[in-house]
Chains A and B, each alone.
Chain A
């Protein structure tokens, strides 16, 4: 069928005689753009089918394939197909999509490390099965020459496999030893090596016990743990880091009256930079020309657009809303306020690296314990029997039986199950210990703008206005792309208002729109421009002729699931705090709407960090949820942090968990899942310990046989994995 879908060139005899044509066709294919999209909401075969159908039907798209495990689509298309258009096309059929950075994508698409681990694991697994077959016949009574032959065949299979499959452990153990430290891999390596060496020795002397199967099973189970661990992290890492950057990497600089596009890093102090409506300031500067309004919500959390005129200072990261602006750069690169914010992050983050995971704590107790135990049994048996062979056999048995098969699986099996569950709900766990830290959370701090709210305004008093007023407002608003105007248009369309006949409409950047209606001048815009008293909340004013201006007030639209998330958190007995850089009335209104009793308004980034530090000092474990630059330091300083996919790059990098969809409701579920998974991890440690308590005395007493070792190892590993599955 492949041939009909995409004709294979060499299938045609004429073409296979002309390799040049084939080469040509290949270069043509390379020119096509590869686009990758993140699709946080897909979950079933119907989703795959409809997304692929929509993408393949899009003009210019050659091939689109959805990967449900990674929740993304990779698309081969003509170079002129814009990812934004595909995102729009998918939004049209009801799927949320985000563009991924195709440059970083190619680096992780073929997951080499994962494939390497998988291969080693498979080789160990196949060898373990074969050797186990031979071992079973030894355990069931094969004796003398038959037993020796089986042992020799086992050795023949085991030696190369152990050399190949065990490499990750040997390398880690060597690296740790070189730095004079001990980690889990040191006892693992020692156990594997000792098991193989004593077994070879026993086989050579036609002894009764050989541990070849144990050495292989050990390697197999431990590699399975490693692979699970790697897989969870690889999925999270690839998706979280590839979400395309929101920051402008380029700037338009005026040179000799010409606009030249240069990378933002090359703008020098004193350069004149043009910023178009809808564009983000690439540098700090001062406005020299143009009038507009600025959206500072990502920097400060303020929702009210700020009026901008020549002489005013602007900061990198602010968004220009209505008119084109020319700014003279006063600070560039590292000097900008955006970068100073990043320094705050670096300071705050150093606190988090002190967290030791449960696995590390277990390893710290475990590694020296095992070595001492096995050394003691060697010395004890040597002094008792004066026989190196017996003493070494027993020491090896102790090492094999205590070896952390179950411990190696205890954490990754649970985190894989838990991350998988949260990923299906649209959450990415970026950090290895994030789940454990999330489980300890007792205080949740929310940012307002862009986190609990969407950051887009919503008209609140549509019902207060006469139909004729609304018709005029709708007509004026339709002529502008200002967010408040767009909100009026959306609300009027939803209410079925038809715009009035307004002529001579013109937009004055920074002020509003004006026009003529039935011979009367009409204006929609800022308070001062239409002659009204300014208000604290976001308001646009409509004046018809000389009548008194009418107020259109706006509130920030709530994000989906914000109410459910906050209510579920309060119901679970956690403290919920709202800290925002926005004005007091706006914050108070939202806090009351969501039932949050503790709130702080007009907070600077440093205030947020200080507040979180104070909560932490009082013994609280703080979860910070935020999206803006002003939250970044707080995100890094909190015990654990979550940011939505729409957040700024810096904020996403600073947080442990990224919400892929627009919905906030999974947050409460995530805390529950995290608590459950930490409980499972502890249970798993206990299970592993119980097996050791039973098996270790047998090994030390010299009663352990390869059969007992195999039973203990497999039984504990399987119990631990099954227990982990309960998290799903």
Chain B
């Protein structure tokens, strides 16, 4: 059961990283136009990064 001493912190840190990543996506306006972004990825033209 000593393995828990590693596994639990690892799972918590990984969850935390995921959360930080999500916070970053919110802060950079990546949920403003979900429908448009879903279509743009199929467009052949080069797409600039989302507007700030």
Residues of chain A whose beta carbon lies under 8 Å from any beta carbon of chain B: 1-2, 5, 44-45, 48-49, 63, 65-70, 74, 110, 115, 118-119, 122-123, 126-127, 129-130, 133-134, 146, 153, 157
Contact A5 B48 (CB under 8 A): yes
With A49-B45, A123-B19 in contact, is A67–B33 under 8 Å at CB? yes
For A67, the closest partner residue in chain B by CB is: B33
Question: Complex: how many Å from CA A126 to CA B17?
Answer: 10
- Chain A residues within 8 Å of B23, by CB: 119, 122
- Chain A residues within 8 Å of B49, by CB: 2
Question: Complex: how many Å from CA A130 to CA B23?
Answer: 17
Contact A69 B19 (CB under 8 A): no
Contact B35 A126 (CB under 8 A): no
Question: Complex: how many Å from CA A2 to CA B32?
Answer: 20
What would 27 A/B residue contacts be, using CB atoms closer than 8 Å? A1-B48, A2-B48, A5-B48, A44-B39, A45-B40, A48-B36, A48-B40, A49-B43, A49-B45, A65-B51, A67-B36, A68-B33, A68-B36, A68-B39, A69-B32, A69-B33, A69-B34, A70-B33, A115-B26, A118-B26, A118-B31, A119-B23, A123-B19, A127-B15, A129-B15, A130-B12, A134-B8
For A420, the closest partner residue in chain B by CB is: B35
Extra inter-chain contacts (12) besides given A1-B48, A118-B31, A153-B8, CB under 8 Å: A1-B46, A45-B39, A45-B40, A49-B43, A67-B33, A68-B39, A69-B36, A110-B29, A126-B15, A129-B15, A134-B8, A157-B12
With A49-B45, A129-B15, A153-B8 in contact, is A122–B26 under 8 Å at CB? yes
- Chain B residues within 8 Å of A48, by CB: 36, 39-40, 43
Contact B33 A45 (CB under 8 A): no
With A48-B39, A146-B1 in contact, is A130–B33 under 8 Å at CB? no
Shortest CB distance A267–B (Å): 41
Question: Complex: how many Å from CA A501 to CA B26?
Answer: 66
Shortest CB distance B14–A (Å): 9
6 closest Cβ pairs, A-B complex:
A68-B36, A45-B39, A67-B33, A69-B35, A126-B19, A68-B35
Question: Complex: how many Å from CA A419 to CA B11?
Answer: 39
Shortest CB distance A464–B (Å): 50
For A149, the closest partner residue in chain B by CB is: B4
Question: Complex: how many Å from CA A1 to CA B49?
Answer: 9
Question: Complex: how many Å from CA A119 to CA B31?
Answer: 12
- Chain A residues within 8 Å of B11, by CB: 130, 133
For A68, A70, A118, A146, the residue with the greatest tally of chain B CB atoms inside 10 Å of its CB is: A68
- Chain B residues within 8 Å of A68, by CB: 33, 35-36, 39
